[in-house]
Each structure stands twice: as C-alpha cells, then as structure tokens.
Structure 1
Amino acid sequence: MRGDEVRALVLPQVDSSDIRQEVEVVRGDISDPPSLESAVKGVQRIYHLAARTGPWGMDEEYWKINVSGLMNLLHMAYTHNIERIVHVSSTTVYGHHLNALVTEDHCYHAEDNPYSRSKIAGERILANLVKDLKVPVVTVRPGWIYGPGDNASFGRLVARIERGRAFLFGSGQNIVPIVYVRDVAKSLVLAGDAGKQSIGQAYTIVNDQRVTQFEYFNAIAQALHTRSVVHKIPLAALIALGRSAEKLWTLAGRRSASPPP
C-alpha cells in the first residue's frame, strides 16, 4: 500500500457501498461539467475510466460520454493544472486483426460499431490537446479484460458460457488480446508514475501469450465445469444479425438500452 489518498467520481444513481471506506466518493457526471469541479479540485492525478461501452446503442450515447465527456474532463483538468491524466482507451482503436501482431504505432481502424468510433475520436481529441495545450496525458489501451468483479463484458460472457448459450465467432482460431484486471490496474499506476517522456504516448496492455478465442472460451467453460463451447457462427452472418437486431431495437423506440445478449 502506497498510502495515496483516492477520490472517486460516482454517478448520483449508482450504489457506492462496495467502494472501500478510505476512498472519498464524490457524486457527479462526466457529461455535466459543473459536477466535475469538486471531483477535480485539489487532486494531482486523474485516472479516467468513465466510458459508454459495448457495441450496441445510439451513436449520440457514446459521443456524450466518450467524446464530449472526455473533453469536459480535460478542460476541467487544464483549469486546475492537474499534473498527470491517465486515459483508459481500448484496443478497439486498432480494429479487427484476427491473427496479426499489432503495435502502438498501428494506424487507427474503426470497427463497425459506435464504441470503436467514439474511442478513436476521443484519442484524436487527446492528441490535439496534448499538442496545443500541453495537457499531460498518458493513454493506456487494455485488451479484453477478465477477472473478478466484472458484470459487463466479461461477466456476460461467463454467464453465457455457464448457461450453455455461448458460441464461437467465425472459426474460433483468431487470437484474442486478453489481460487480467490486476495487470490493468498496475499499468494505470505505472502510467501515472512514468516520467515526462511518457506524455502523449499510448501503451497497449495485453498478456504476453497468444490465446485463441476457442482456448479462451473453453478455459472458462472448464473452470465452470460446464460443457465446451464448440458451436460456430460465421463472422459475416453474425455482423449482419447484429445490425438487424440494432435496427429493430431502434425502431421499437429503445434508445437507451441495447439488444439483449
């Protein structure tokens, strides 16, 4: 334990009872600039993890948080002379590279979903602010995060495998960029501690080993003592199905929720 004092910005409607008592909780919303004042004032470093995630939903929902919300936070940080901002992005900014080795120098390539597009837009805004205003930002790009405490992407995947409802996307032999949640947390601390040469840099955070989608899904199945994941859906068919589901969801008037998994 380093003894750092930690302040967490938590949405007004979110239960914070599972946050450790020594963490100061401040209520606010990244899309509401005035509410950020009390969260930012007096701090040395900001670890920016707020995001609208998942591949389903209206573009404006993602832009509100992942682009406009990021700008709100950056301008507030600039006003208060924050010494370091660690921005959590995602490997989704590289697009789909099923078996290739991808480095931080790889160009942006948006996947066909609003999450990927908004994360790229956010990184481009960061690059401009670092250049023009000298905002001290370091970016980390985690891969597929797995580990305890997740009720979003990894949690939903585990639930589907446990219920026997999971399937492989395409052949299942593509490499998946997995990373353990504790390693992501350590990377954020390192990004905050790194020297000035790290300002404006981006770092990909994934495990060293090359794991296929088939191996990953079935390691989870084995740990759960449930049946193996063997059923496959062609990637093109899956994308077409997803687009149709999103259109139907929108036509049904569901603007703030995504199609069920």
Structure 2
Amino acid sequence: MSKKIFITGSTGFIGRKLAMKLAQEDNRVVALIRSKQKAKDLQHDNISFVEGDLFSTDAIAEGMEGCDEVYHLAAFASVWAKDDTFHRVNILGTENILDIAQKQGVGKCVVTSTAGVIGPAIDGPVNEDTPRQVDFFTDYESTKYESELKIKERVRNGQHVVIVNPTRVYGPGPLNVSNSVTKLVKQYIEGKWKFMPGDGMSTGNYVFVDDVINGHILAMANGRAGERYLLGGEDATYHELFDTIAVIGGQKHKLYKMPLGVMLTFGKLQLFMAERFGRQPMITPGWVRKYLYKWSVSSAKAETELGYKITSLNDGIQQTVNWLKAE
C-alpha cells in the first residue's frame, strides 16, 4: 500500500538513494532540501520538495502533514566545526524533526546514527549492547550518542522511533564526505592513492550502500521502538581492503606505510590551523586515533530481527569499480 513519507538528508549519499527507492515503490515522498540546485538529480513523479533546514518548523510541519513515516538522515558529519554546529544539527535538529513528527501524528520514525557511537572492538566484534570502553574520538560521535539518549527518552514517552547505525558505507553515489571509502577506491584504481594507514592491520567494517538503504526500510517495517540496529557489512583490514580493490581493479599499486605518529602530528597541525585561521582540516587528532583500534562489527541483530542481508566486500567493491569505470 502506498504511503506518504517525509525524509531529511535526501540530497546526501544515502538519503538520495533511499528517497528514489521509496518513490519507485510508489510511495509519495516529501523531501526536505536546502535548495533546488542540490536536488537537481533527485527527480521523480512521486517526489515533492520542501525547502529549508532542520529548523524551518512551519515548512517541515506542512511537509509532514498526513505522513505515515519519517526518515531522518540529515546530520553534520564533517571532521571539524568552528562553532556549535555539531550540537545544533545533530542534537537540536533531530529533536525538532521528532517534535514536529509527534505533533503531526506520524506513526513511525527512523533516525540514522552511526556505528561510531558504540566504539571500537576491544574484546571482539561490537554489537548494539557493547558498552563503550574508550572516550569519544570526535564531536560527530559524541553528539550522535547524545541524540540517541534523547530518542530513548521519547520512546519511553510513547513515540515510535527506531535507530539505525551504519558502519563505513561505500558504493555508487556522490563522492562526498559521506562516501569517502568510494573516493579512496577511485583514487587507488587511478594510481593516485599512495598511503597505507599505520601498519595496515586496523580493521574496519565496510557496508555496501544498497544494504544500508534496505536496512532503513526494514527498520521502519520491523524495527522495535527505541532499539538500535547496526547496519554493517564485512570486516577487513586495510591490507585486505586494498588487496580486494587491486584484484578487482586489475592492477596492484605500491603503498607506503604512514606511521600513526606522523599522521597524529599532521592532524595536530591541521587542527591548529583550523582553530587559528578557520581553515577546514583534512583530518584531526581524534580521527587519527581511531586508526589505533579495530572496528569489527556484528550485524546479527539486524539480520535476525529485521531480515537484513549483507553484500560481500568482494561483490560490493566489484559493483563500485564497475560504476566508477562507467562514470
């Protein structure tokens, strides 16, 4: 049955694909956009637009009128901000969207968080209930975590909200900050990526974008209110990741190990320049420290409760490389 669905973050890497899939399934999608220019690639007969940001209360309320579901994907995910943007967007913006959804009588909401809130894998792969054992590395992680706490309060007061936590997402789509893994794949197959972070043995979890889209829809259909669901893919070290890209891309390129001490010094210099001159840093010390840990993830809960399925790293990279070459 066709539904009316409101979505934020619809011009982002994940949001764009989610909005299109929902529209293609004959749902009426109302997309919050900051400008029509950003939405020029998001055209479908079943998609209409509301212009504004997360605090355009009147416009959002009008767009949500009669909606059955809300997907809230919009977030501030940069490496650094010179003001309180992380707090304002990731916490206050989320609260505003959920406030309006509640007032408009929306039945279900799914909010996109990040696997980073749970923290690294100290004693084996993390799951949704793994207690965090180290401090947050970035403002992005900490504000997303605080947002989750506020969501749980709302659920205790009767609002139906489900949280999804993707890992490192990659695949066909805009080569922006949210799709940095695909940017790395592109640079490697073009012979432009030269460095191996640390000793190359840091483990990450890489999830194909189509799996994340399906995971959002499954969370809306089957997710329990107040629960979080890790939407992960396959664990791989940097060595394994680059070896996979090399085999599929057809050429192996020499990589130079970048000691974490050197990366940390560079991150500190970048942060100093950012704080002193307002220049956006390429990386910060917090992001570098993440390389000291393994980030293995179990998606068993999503697989069991939602019916979530994982695309193998080999198949996902194959589809990504095919798309990059076609582009």
TM-score normalised by the chain length of structure 2: 0.71
User: Which whole-Å deviations, capped at 9, do the CAs of 1:12-51 have from their partners, x for residues lacking one?
Assistant: 2642111132211221201333332223222110111101
Task: Give the aligned partner of residue 142 of structure 2.
Answer: 117
Task: Give the aligned partner of residue 281 of structure 2.
Answer: 259
- Given that 1:222 and 1:228 are in contact with CA atoms closer than 8 Å, whether structure 2 keeps it comes out as no
What is the distance in 1 between the residues matched to 2:194 and 2:104? 47
What is the distance in 1 between the residues matched to 2:66 and 2:143? 29
The answer to whether 1:250 aligns with 2:275 is yes
The answer to whether 1:150 aligns with 2:174 is yes
Which residues of structure 2 form unaligned runs of 5+? Answer: 1-23, 284-327
* Identical columns (%): 26
The answer to whether 1:220 aligns with 2:245 is yes
Task: Give the aligned partner of residue 77 of structure 2.
Answer: 53
Task: Give the aligned partner of residue 178 of structure 1.
Answer: 206
AA partner of residue 226 (structure 2)? G
Correspondence for 1:2 among 5, 20, 25: 25
- Given that 1:173 and 1:212 are in contact with CA atoms closer than 8 Å, whether structure 2 keeps it comes out as yes
Correspondence for 1:210 among 191, 215, 235: 235
User: Which secondary structure does the structure 2 equivalent of 1:211 belong to?
Assistant: strand
- Given that 2:170 and 2:206 are in contact with CA atoms closer than 8 Å, whether structure 1 keeps it comes out as yes
AA partner of residue 180 (structure 1)? F
1:245 CA displacement: 0.5
User: Which secondary structure does the structure 1 equivalent of 2:162 belong to?
Assistant: strand
User: Which whole-Å deviations, capped at 9, do the CAs of 1:151-191 have from their partners, x for residues lacking one?
Assistant: 22234323543352342222212221111100000011111
AA partner of residue 232 (structure 1)? K
Residues 112 and 59 (structure 1 numbering): CA distance in 2 closer, same or farther, change over 3 Å? Answer: farther
**RMSD, matched Cα:** 2.3
Residues 121 and 100 (structure 1 numbering): CA distance in 2 closer, same or farther, change over 3 Å? Answer: same
Residues 171 and 111 (structure 1 numbering): CA distance in 2 closer, same or farther, change over 3 Å? Answer: farther
Correspondence for 2:40 among 17, 34, 40: 17
TM-score normalised by the chain length of structure 1: 0.87
What is the distance in 2 between the residues matched to 1:229 and 1:259? 26
Report how many residues are paired. Answer: 254
User: Which secondary structure does the structure 1 equivalent of 2:169 belong to?
Assistant: strand
Which residues of structure 1 form unaligned runs of 5+? Answer: none
- Given that 2:82 and 2:278 are in contact with CA atoms closer than 8 Å, whether structure 1 keeps it comes out as no
Task: Give the aligned partner of residue 92 of structure 2.
Answer: 68
Task: Give the aligned partner of residue 257 of structure 2.
Answer: 232
User: Which secondary structure does the structure 1 equivalent of 2:84 belong to?
Assistant: helix
The answer to whether 1:29 aligns with 2:58 is no
